[in-house]
Each structure stands twice: as structure tokens, then as C-alpha cells.
């Protein structure tokens, strides 16, 4: 799902108190609100309250170095008719263009935040740049590469569902069978985590979710329930960013380590964990064979052998 950033900005610029706009997912375009649409069919654009042009005016005034202009504008926005007096005062001090540039930048940031939050890839002239996998990206580096951590909640959970489907398919491939999970089941899985108040977070690049993680909290013990990075973004430091986010959550709960289940065939994850100092075997999960199951692999731990 992609959208041109200028289309979002244009919709924000045209939004007023009495008009709502929505980004309609199936047709991938901006349209005005349609009462026939179901809530799941659209994503609301920022509301007039979120845009807060009055707050933008105040921020603009505070940014001015011209004391005289700042004083006149502060008086202009008091009481009824603030917007009209504000525009007249701008003209008096020849600051109209400066105001529109300031407001346009604010609206652009609102548009970017909206895209990032809902996992919608926005198109602009800042493509993803490769991250050095041997280094820990700093906040400044993350900004340079257009990477952001996004908290997943009930409002943007649907946008992450497609990555969950990919993740489950990958896990099931280690067991030799195809995954049957669909988007609705993925949403249910994520909603379960959110209802349990488990931290769910994603990394976006220009609005597109490229990886995510889930931490399960059991009696203040933090397990890494899920971690996944899109194949085309692997070996670029994204997994390390997600993992360090999870470790930071573990520390918040007083843990010195994350705990995790890992499939024995998942060599990529096992090697990743060893690189990060995770080489202590904690528990062995054992069960009887399923009906008609004939495990072909064997693993030996100490003096005991197990079928898998």
C-alpha cells in the first residue's frame, strides 16, 4: 500500500471543522467520508483537532525573532476573529509567505506521522539507505534512514497483520508444512497480545512496516514472543534494532536477559542469538508424537536423545 505524501498533505490542507477525509484502503485513494463504508474499509485522516492550526499559529509566533511582529501577532490571536486578525497582521509585516512555509512544514510532519502510524508507505525523494549491521543505529542515524519505532495499538493493528502472516509462514516452513493463517487470524493474534498488554512494536521505513517484535510478559519475566524482518531488509541492522528494543523492555522489568523459544532448524535466529551473547540453554519442551506423526530428526542434549 503506497500513497503520495503530497496527496495526504493536500487532504490535510483542505480539512475543516465540518469535513472529514479518509484514506480508503481497497482503492488506495483519498476520498471524502462515505456513510456507506464500514469502519474497517478506511483509515481516518488527522482530525481538525489533531491538526490544531491555532496551536500552529502560536508555535509560529514563538519562533519569530522580530519582537515587534511577535508582540502584534500575540495580540492578534486573542479572542474571536483570531484567524482574520492574524492574517492581516502577517500582511502588515510581510510575513505571509513565511507563515505558509511554516504551516506547510507542520502539515507535512502530520502527514508523515499519519503514514508511519498506519504503516502506509509514502512516496518522496528519500529512499531507504542501508544500515551498517555492525553498528547500533543512533536516533540521529534512524532519522537519516527514515526508520521509526511505531507502537502498535488497537487503531493500527490491522496494518501489521500482513507481516504476522509472513512470520507465521516462515515459522511453519521450519516444520515442513504450509501455514494456513490469514489476515483476520493475524489480527486476532495481535489483539490477543494487546488485550494482555504485551508490548507490540514495529519499525517503519517511509511509512512501510519492515519488521516487528512482540514481548510476552509472564510474572515480570519477558519473553521475545515474535521478531520478524522482511527478507529484503535483512542484514541491515533492523533485526538488531528490534532485539535491542525488546532487551530494553526486559530491563524495565528488572531482567538481565530476554527469554525465547527457538525452533532447532532456525539457524538464522540461533546464529543471531549467539552473536548477541545468547548461548545458554534454558528449558527443553517435550511432548508425545502427534497422531500419524513420524519425527525423522534426532537431537542429543547431554546423555539424552530426542526425536524432532
Three-class SS of 35-54: CCCCHHHEEECCCHHHHCHH
Q: Is this structure's pTM higher than 0.85?
A: no
CA distances to 23, 74, 96, 157, 182 from 71, rounded to whole Å, are 40, 5, 16, 45, 59
Cα separation, 56 vs 12, in Å, equals: 14
Query: According to DSSP H, which parts of 64-182 are helical?
Result: 67-76, 82-92, 96-118, 139-144, 157-174
pLDDT higher for 52 or 66?
66
How distant is the alpha carbon of residue 296 from its chain centre?
Answer: 40
Question: What residues does CATH 3.40.630.30 cover in the chain?
Answer: 139-307
Three-state DSSP class for residue 209:
strand
Query: Would you say 87 and 96 are in contact if contact means Cβ atoms under 8 Å apart?
Result: yes
Highest mean pLDDT among 10-24, 161-175, 186-200 belongs to 186-200
How far is Cα 80 from Cα 203, in angstroms, rounded to an integer?
A: 43
Q: What is the pLDDT of residues 259-306, one digit of tens each?
A: 998 888 788 889 999 999 999 988 888 888 888 888 888 888 888 888
pLDDT above 70: residue 27: no
Mean pLDDT to the nearest integer, 26-37: 55
Q: Residue 231 carries which DSSP code?
A: G
- The confidence score (pLDDT) of residue 282 equals 87
CB 215 within 8 A of CB 249: yes
Burial of residue 296 (CB within 10 Å: 0-12, 13-18, 19+) is exposed
Mean pLDDT, the chain, whole residue set: 82
C-alpha cell at 35: 456513510
115-139 confidence digits (pLDDT tens): 889 888 888 754 444 444 334 444 4
* Exposure on the CB side of residue 167, measured as CA atoms within 13 A: 22
User: Stretch 37-49: mean pLDDT, rounded?
Assistant: 69
Domain at 139-307: CATH architecture: 3-Layer(aba) Sandwich (3.40)
Assign 153 a pLDDT band (cuts: 50, 70, 90): very high
- Which pLDDT does position 164 carry in this prediction? 92
224 or 22, which is more confident?
224
Amino acid at each position: 500500500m503506497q500513497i503520495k505524501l503530497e496527496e495526504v498533505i493536500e487532504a490535510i490542507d483542505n480539512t475543516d471543522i465540518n469535513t472529514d477525509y479518509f484514506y480508503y484502503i481497497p482503492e488506495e485513494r483519498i476520498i471524502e467520508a462515505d456513510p456507506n463504508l464500514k469502519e474497517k474499509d478506511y483509515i481516518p485522516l488527522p482530525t481538525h483537532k489533531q491538526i490544531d492550526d491555532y496551536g500552529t499559529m502560536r508555535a509560529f509566533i514563538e519562533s519569530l525573532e522580530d519582537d515587534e511582529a511577535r508582540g502584534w501577532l500575540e495580540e492578534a490571536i486573542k479572542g474571536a476573529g483570531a484567524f482574520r486578525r492574524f492574517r492581516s497582521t502577517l500582511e502588515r509585516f510581510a510575513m505571509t509567505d513565511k507563515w505558509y512555509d511554516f504551516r506547510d512544514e507542520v502539515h507535512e510532519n502530520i502527514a508523515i506521522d499519519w503514514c508511519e502510524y498506519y504503516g502506509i508507505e509514502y512516496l518522496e525523494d528519500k529512499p531507504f539507505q542501508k544500515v551498517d549491521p555492525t553498528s547500533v543505529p543512533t536516533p540521529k542515524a534512524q532519522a537519516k534512514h527514515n526508520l521509526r519505532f511505531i507502537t502498535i495499538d488497537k487503531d493500527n493493528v490491522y496494518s501489521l497483520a500482513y507481516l504476522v502472516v509472513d512470520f507465521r509462514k516462515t515459522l511453519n516452513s521450519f516444520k515442513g508444512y504450509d501455514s494456513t493463517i490469514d489476515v483476520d487470524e493475524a489480527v486476532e493474534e495481535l489483539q490477543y497480545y494487546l488485550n494482555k498488554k504485551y508490548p507490540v512494536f514495529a519499525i517503519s521505513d517511509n511509512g512501510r512496516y519492515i519488521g516487528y517484535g512482540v514481548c510476552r510478559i509472564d510474572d515480570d519475566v519477558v519473553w521475545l514472543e515474535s521478531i520478524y524482518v522482511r527478507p529484503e531488509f535483512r542484514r541491515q541492522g533492523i533485526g538488531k534494532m528490534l532485539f535491542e528494543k525488546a532487551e530494553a523492555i526486559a530491563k524495565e522489568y528488572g531482567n538481565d536477559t530476554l527469554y525465547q523459544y527457538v525452533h532447532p532448524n532456525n539457524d538464522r535466529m540461533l546464529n543471531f542469538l549467539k552473536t548477541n551473547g545468547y548461548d545458554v540453554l534454558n528449558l527443553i519442551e517435550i511432548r508425545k508424537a502427534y497422531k500419524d506423526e513420524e519425527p525423522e530428526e534426532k537431537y542429543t542434549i547431554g546423555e539424552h536423545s530426542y526425536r524432532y
